Amino acid sequence: MQKPSSRLLQHFPQIIHTFTTRHGGVSKPPYSSNNLAFHVGDKPEDVINNQRSLARSLGYELKKLVHMRQIHSDKVLIVDTTLHGFEHPPECDALITNEPDIPLMVMTADCTPVLLFDPVENVIAVAHAGRAGAIKAIVPKTIRKMQQHFGCKREDIRVVLGPSIQNCCYEVGEKIAKEVTEEGFGFAVVERQGRYYLEVNAIIHRQLQDLGIRHENIEDLSICNACENDTFFSYRADNQKTGRIAGVLMLKQP
Ligand SMILES: [Zn+2]
């Protein structure tokens, strides 16, 4: 399958965005080849190489990139030029900025990478939303922070859900299915032949709807990275030892 791109975001000349695939890097198996994460056991020099190539292809300075030590939390951080987020990635699961030339990166291998953009206030955000993060409302909390700190209006905010594991492949045990239901998200549990499957993006969609984000401003790429394991890393399909793909968003200098 081809490298995915957001039709919603590609119309805005003031930003650059991308979702990477597992191809085009230098990492060796099981990280082959374009792994962008340092914490998964890959050789650091290979990861740096992959990160450098991505920075070059998108036209940003690598040292300005901010990525995260993602912990499946609801912690949202506002980023400014004082943060050296490449060397010392902050511990959180969402980043927001209105500063140009600071690329924000979310890394995933089954969880949903979410890119957010308000073209009126020129504010961008990225969020990491797996089952835990979605239940903790990481995406609504990111949007509320965009509203509180930058005056973003819900009708202006664009939201894109990147490649992530979908209910075709995300089987969970009865205990988790029950927990998710008890949290009020039973609609995201799919039962097939006595087995339970989870649709994390259904939780995110419901939250976006509750926040009043416009339907036409939401784009779900609807790509299952586990089905498309030839193109994307998948924690489950690759038996846990694998790399990470990235969603990247950056505001350009006006
Ligand atoms: Zn699938």
E-assigned strand segments in 130-222: 158-161, 171-172, 189-192, 195-198, 218-220
CA of 14 to the centre of ligand 1 (A): 33
CA of 224 to the centre of ligand 1 (A): 5
CA of 170 to the centre of ligand 1 (A): 7
CA of 151 to the centre of ligand 1 (A): 38
Q: Is the pLDDT of residue 2 over 90?
A: no
The whole-number pLDDT of residue 84 equals: 81
- Sorted by where each starts, the structural domains of the chain and their CATH numbers stand as 15-251 (3.60.140.10)
**What is the distance between the alpha carbons of residues 224 and 236, in angstroms, rounded to a whole number?**
12
Average pLDDT, the chain: 97
**Residue of higher predicted confidence among 83 and 191:** 191
DSSP per residue over 162-180, as a string?
-S---TTT-EE-HHHHHHH
pLDDT digits (tens, 9 = 90+) for 106-159: 999 999 999 999 999 999 999 999 999 999 999 999 999 999 999 999 999 999
**Helix, strand or coil, per DSSP, at residue 35:** coil
Q: Is the pLDDT of residue 9 over 90?
A: yes
The whole-number pLDDT of residue 80 equals: 92
